[in-house]
Amino acid sequence: MGRDQVDLPKVRSLREVLRTACNRDCPDACGIVATVEDGRVVQIRGDREHPVTRGYLCERTSRFLTRQYDPARLTRPLMRRGAEFVEVSWDAALDFVAAGLERIRRESGAEAVLHYRSGGSLGIVKVVNDWFFECFGGARVKKGDICAGAGQAAQEADMGFSESHDLADLVNSRCLLLWGKNVTTSFIHMLPELKEARRRGAVVVLIDPAPRRAARFADHVIQPRPGCDRFLALGMAQWIDAHNAVDPTLATWSLGHEAFLHLARSRPLAAWAQAADVRLEELENLARLYATRGPANIQVGWGLQRRYHGGVTVRVLDALCALSGNLGVPGGGVTFYYARRRAFDAERWGAPAERRGIPEPLLGPGILDATDPPVRAVVVDNGNPVAMLPESHTLKRALETRELVVVLEQFMTDTAACAHVVLPVTTMLEERDVLGAFGHHYLVGVQPVAQPPAAVKTDLEIYQALATRLGFGDRLEGSAREWIARLLEPVANSVSVESVERGAVRNPQPHRVLFAERRFPTPDGRFHFVTEVPLDRVTPDATYPLTLGSFSTPQAQSSQWARPIAGSPLEARCHPHAAPWAADGAPARVHSRLGSLDVVVRLDASLRPDLLLLPKGGWLQHGQAANALIGAVATDIGLGAAYYDEPVRIAPT
């Protein structure tokens, strides 16, 4: 299939300014204004007219042109010849892939093929990738969600779905709990609302074992023991109950609050404080602030639920919100996620993961263990799972032992290096799409502002070409703009392709205040309190006394780096008491039960002494993948990844 020229800018000799958006895995979905000279983007900045972006970009996206024009970028299809890759034509690559997929389907059925798509782009047109594999006959897919699976499942159990008040409603709050929410790295466009809320008198409390730069925006900082936030929250619930601050109308719109309160009363307040490893007065002051300075909002960090007990922890925070009467009121709520796909007819084109999925956090072992049929082929797009999923070495081995691995990529990542065929794809500055955000309710168009290299294609073009070869090309027909129109059908009365191309448009579906009438999309229309909470606490292991946290950084969007990092050892950040033998900058090794990594020690007295931080997104081929140390364990609900429970130690080299 020929390139859809409608979706590509013409090379011009004039300087011009064009509007697009950032499609990477971030809550902000920022509007971008690009300055283009002779077909080359020479500057990008935040769109001043976007109501959330407000003219500024994060550090990662501000440096995107370094990635866009990196000489290491892949610009031609590659096929493996022994241990090396050689450049081939698109016809040769696509014919080879189509023939391999057809042969495996004929011999073992469509489920012998696994399709893995992740969040390298959050553009909604990427669901057409899933639709290809449905039309193919129903390939295996991943199920669950490493990013938000536990938290979304928790809120669906409590309230029927995971959604939030309008972002601008934060200014109505008088107490804000940033519970594991690092607003300086993972949600910087919340900062204007946070600052305005403080200006209006709100008290901000940061609850995080690693407060880092976010502490500058908080009035109080509390650092509970990693993985023990549920104990702190249960103590708060007990205080609220003991001080007659429970919403008296609970019985009319909820179920289970008495059982939840019975659980909160099951231990003395001092015992809850001890279990969370915070001072009793810290717990009491936090509960008092939250219960008496309403309306109060809890901002739930995505990392909070990336633990084995992550789902139940979010459920306890939901329960706190309901118990205190902060649910359904302006300035209140418990904010975990904005339903970014809600405006789109996306499910129609998706894959039923429940029927034939491999849990995403267990993907490496899952591929190796799959039977009836075994996984013979893997196709990866919009992801670098070897670097980003637990047990990197296991997943690498799983891919290297398949008959056919196809990766759509921009660079020779850890995952691409395992492939038989690597197909070069466009960047976010070269394609057309539309975004919802998981940090606000605005929709925004992604438009091509840069001319891609001649032999680079969009995902849509690649899957359309494969569909044609496999005999169902008519089912994927349409330009990107036509697919956007199909996907916008649920909001077509007020949102169009043209309107999102002009700038940000608020999704008309979400209410600005969630659950204002205390009616919930649960089967019985009520809020459901969690009534069973594991009260056991993992005892520190003398061999591995530290808990590993591999959190987001300002330098990379997951594993998408703006510049090469080969040869630079990881920085391991820890409290001086965690490495009393080390000077700042000393070489060391971090060990887990799965392996070890060379690091440089960075001493940081602001961290808890039982915590060790490694940057998120490092590549295995550079010796920097923290996920090589982390076991493949799913969260309690939602099939998220329990990334932040791995015990480690740090030792001199």
Question: pLDDT tens digits for 134-174?
Answer: 999 999 999 999 999 999 999 999 999 999 999 999 999 99
Q: What are the pLDDT digits (tens) for 600-645?
A: 999 999 999 999 999 999 999 999 999 999 999 999 999 999 999 9
Long-range Cβ contacts of 187-196 (<8 Å, 24+ apart) = 187/27, 187/28, 187/439, 188/28, 188/58, 189/28, 189/30, 189/52, 189/53, 189/54, 189/439, 189/440, 190/299, 190/439, 191/217, 192/54, 193/167, 193/168, 194/170, 196/170, 196/171
The helix (run of H) or strand (run of E) holding residue 34 is strand 31-37
Name the phi and psi angles at 443, rounded to 5.
-105, 145
Residue 55 has pLDDT above 50, yes or no: yes
Q: Which of 425, 369, 368, 455 is nearest to 560 (CA)?
A: 425
With cut-offs at 50, 70 and 90, classify the pLDDT of residue 234: very high
Helix (H/G/I), strand (E/B), else coil: 128:
helix
Flag whether pLDDT at 550 surpasses 90. yes
| Predicted pLDDT at 96 | 98
pLDDT score of 5 = 40
* pLDDT tens, position by position, 458-509: 999 999 999 999 999 999 999 999 999 999 999 999 999 999 999 999 999 9
Q: How confident is the model at residue 38 (pLDDT cuts 50, 70, 90)?
A: confident
Average pLDDT on 371-396 reads 97
- In CATH, which superfamily holds the domain spanning 165-336? Dimethylsulfoxide Reductase, domain 2 (3.40.228.10)
**Pairing between strand 433-435 and 442-446?**
antiparallel
pLDDT in tens, 563-593: 767 778 899 999 999 999 999 999 999 999 9
- Each residue's pLDDT tens digit, 352-370: 656 689 999 999 999 999 9
Separation of alpha carbons 398 and 395, rounded Å: 5
Residue 49 has pLDDT above 80, yes or no: yes
* Cα 197 to Cα 167, 202, 216, 397, 495, distances in angstroms: 12, 5, 15, 50, 31
Q: In this structure, are residues 269 and 283 in contact, taking their beta carbons and an 8 Å threshold?
A: yes
Which pTM was predicted? 0.95
Chain segment 263-312, per-residue pLDDT in tens: 999 999 999 999 999 999 999 999 999 999 989 999 999 999 999 999 99
pLDDT at 247 over 80: yes
Q: Which top CATH class is 546-652?
A: mainly beta
8 Å CB contact between 439 and 185: no
According to DSSP H, which parts of 54-115 are helical? 59-62, 64-68, 90-108
Q: Average pLDDT in the 519-544 region?
A: 93
Instruction: Supply the mean pLDDT for the chain.
Output: 95
Instruction: Give the pLDDT confidence score for residue 473 in this predicted structure.
Output: 98
Compute the distance between CA of residue 529 and CA of residue 115 in angstroms, rounded to an integer. 36
The rounded distance, in Å, linking the Cα atoms of 50 and 30 is 8
**Contact of 584 with 610, CB cutoff 8 Å:** no
Is residue 248 very low, low, confident or very high in pLDDT (cuts 50, 70, 90)?
very high
Domain topology for 78-143+350-427+453-495: Rossmann fold (3.40.50)
Residue 229, φ and ψ in degrees, nearest 5: -65, -30
Residues forming CATH 3.40.228.10 domain(s) in the chain: 165-336
Phi, psi (rounded to 5 degrees) for 608: -65, 145
The per-residue pLDDT for 576 is 98
First-to-last CA distance in the chain?
55
61 pLDDT above the threshold of 50: yes
For residue 15, the cross-strand partners are 37
pLDDT of residue 6: 41
pLDDT band at 427 (very low <50, low <70, confident <90, very high): very high
Residue at token pair 């602030």: 289
21: left (phi over 0), alpha (psi -120 to 50) or beta: beta
Of the candidates 529, 171, 201, 133, which has an alpha carbon nearest to the alpha carbon of residue 356?
133
Q: Strand 442-446 relative to strand 505-506: parallel, antiparallel, unpaired?
A: antiparallel
Where are the CATH 3.40.50.740 domain residues in the chain? 78-143+350-427+453-495
pLDDT tens-digit readout, 1-37: 444 444 444 544 588 999 999 999 999 999 999 999 9
| Numbered ranges of CATH 2.40.40.20 in the chain | 546-652
What does the block give as tokens for 540?
Answer: 């520190």
Q: In this predicted model, what pLDDT tens digit does every residue of 624-634 receive, in sequence order?
A: 999 999 999 99
Give the mean pLDDT of 407-432: 98
